[in-house]
Structure 1
Amino acid sequence: MKILVAVKRVIDYNVKIRVKPDNSDVDLTNVKMAMNPFCEIAVEEAVRLKERGVASEVVAVTVGPKAAQEQLRTALALGADRAIHINTSAETDEKVESLAVAKLLQKVVEEEQPQLVILGKQAIDTDNNQTGQMLAALTGLPQGTFASEVKVEGDKLQVTREIDGGLQTVALSLPAIVTTDLRLNEPRYAKLPDIMKAKKKPLATQTPAELGVEVASKVTLLKVESPAERQGGIKVGSVDELVEKLKNEAKVIS
């Protein structure tokens, strides 16, 4: 079984986001970038399936500027066998939207013919939660989204999904597409020897033009603002004082 894993370059989740002075976008100057946390979970699941003998090859793919190869090398260090970089640097200076990414991944799926495609359910920068579902629609493959457990049984895939009402288990025929939720696994850390080995693993580069996909943005970003500062709380001395403040100051009870 071949597994294709999509990863994305985002601002490290430990970094405090800064907005440019003119509110035109997020300031990326000297900001640490990393692999999207949900994508780390996707890579980990693919590598675990390979370690259990279910998969024979794990291929990592990303869409983004040349710098995104850093995240591909991380995926290779974590256990992926080879990587594909769809370089958008020469074709657009703007963010590539979910539909364009899904179309690019569709072309990769057609070329690679994987039995399983795993993506993070969303990226922490845009929070769109769209690419996996769009890719399933474009390829016509069954999908199991928000996966908290994945089991491969022959040519069938059993996915336990996290939904509003609890858990839902679906059975899919392979090939299929899965998007990962937080509780699917605990990603490992890349070891130094594996990081060194990753530098020698194959990394192929393609462009959207070579794949015949238009990536020009259809959305115009008007303004970016930092969230409003939260006001400090207050302490009350008694229940009666709390009720009085809720009634007369906050006016949330009558």
Structure 2
Amino acid sequence: MTEPASRAQRGWKRDSPPDRAWKGRPGRSRDALAAEQDRAAGGRHRRSVDLGNGRLARASVELKVLPDTRRIRAYLRWSNAGKSPARYLGQVDHDRRAANLVAGWKLAWEKGLLAEEPPVEGSWASSAAVRASMRGNRNKDTKPELRLRSLLHKQGLRYRVASRPLPQLRRTADVLFSKQKVAVFVDGCYWHGCPEHLRESTKNAGFWHSKIEGNRARDAETDRLLREAGWTVIRVWEHEDPEAACARISEVVRR
């Protein structure tokens, strides 16, 4: 049985394409829009444009309709140095937005506009599937954070979540005890350069080394600035036993 032709293949001669073929639902969050692009591209690691010198930029496929042609056109967009370049990919002709996004990403790969992010060699990022999961990790409410917060709450401790110790400083603590001036950061082993679990990548090594060293320097600067302002800083690695971390934090806060 042959596959039925799409609406566009039959020709949008009288009407423009339906909204469902190219428009997204209004009011969706940034995370929802990013997840949609990730699915269409086949993973977040397949959404990068190579800027040169080991730098990558996250790209998105944008769908537009030209009123005079009644056709859906796909564009690739990304950010670079405060600008938003765009490349025309071609026409897409499916009846659903999801299928047209997939087609747009396929065109981008065929035109050689994309670069797959290199695999990260390490204890928990050694495969494409794990790497894609790592890219999708949220920057708050991670499993280690939720477990630690649950244990702290059971200890009768009350705290703020994802808050800035110093309003003027753009650094966010994962758990904050404002009255006691204790700031807790739960650090991921890869991105913050855990000395026990970090195994640096041999592919695009310069890029990843610079990225992780930058994170380490930022962490050290954060610790210094907070301590100078009278705060106690506690850092917990994601691999640490949450009960031991809870006991350590509880001791400091109660003291």
TM class by shorter chain equals: under 0.3
Q: TM-score, normalised by structure 1?
A: 0.23
More strand, by proportion: 1
Q: Which has the higher contact order (CA 8 A, sep 6+)?
A: 1
